Amino acid sequence: MKNPAFLTVFLCVLFIVSCDKDEDEVSERFRFLTGSVWASDSLLVNGFDGSFSGGPLEYFKGDAKFNENGTGTFGSYTGTWKFEQNETALVITSPDLPLAITAQIAELKAISLKITTVFPNPSDFTEQLNIRMTFKAK
């Protein structure tokens, strides 16, 4: 009689512990993104450098940090981030940006991050800007 009761308690504890582990596990992409500070490498708009003074990506120049709690810094901006589309896209929001940025992840490795997006031109909303940002892990 003691053995079945002991076995039942043991299995319940094992089940609870294994469930806790599943909740704590994160994807490799999440670990890559949050595991480094990312230094901007190239910030291109329609194939040209957009990080110059007065350029559309001027304030994205510098480091990006994606914190595990969904907050972060993106150059001069602070805000929030989240994965979308089965971790193939990033959504970045900031009170300093007129719109949330949804970017496709072209590459995410331990040492490199490349994202692309289309964003309306602030000076002519009928024109779209093709943006490509690449970062290297520090």
From 47, 117, 110, select the one nearest 84 (Cα to Cα): 117
Confidence at residue 118, expressed as pLDDT on a 0 to 100 scale: 95
Please report which helix (H) or strand (E) contains residue 25, including its range. Answer: none
Per-10-residue mean pLDDT, the chain, length 138: 49 48 77 97 97 94 97 97 97 94 97 95 88 97
Structure tokens at 69: 């709690």
**Distance between CA atoms of residues 61 and 102, nearest Å:** 18
Question: Which residue, chain included where needed, has tokens 């490509």?
Answer: 132
Q: Go through the domains of the chain in sequence order and give each one's CATH number.
A: 28-137 (2.40.128.540)
Q: What is the biggest distance separating any 2 CA atoms in the chain, rounded to whole angstroms?
A: 79
Residue 60: how many CA atoms within 13 Å on its side-chain side?
23
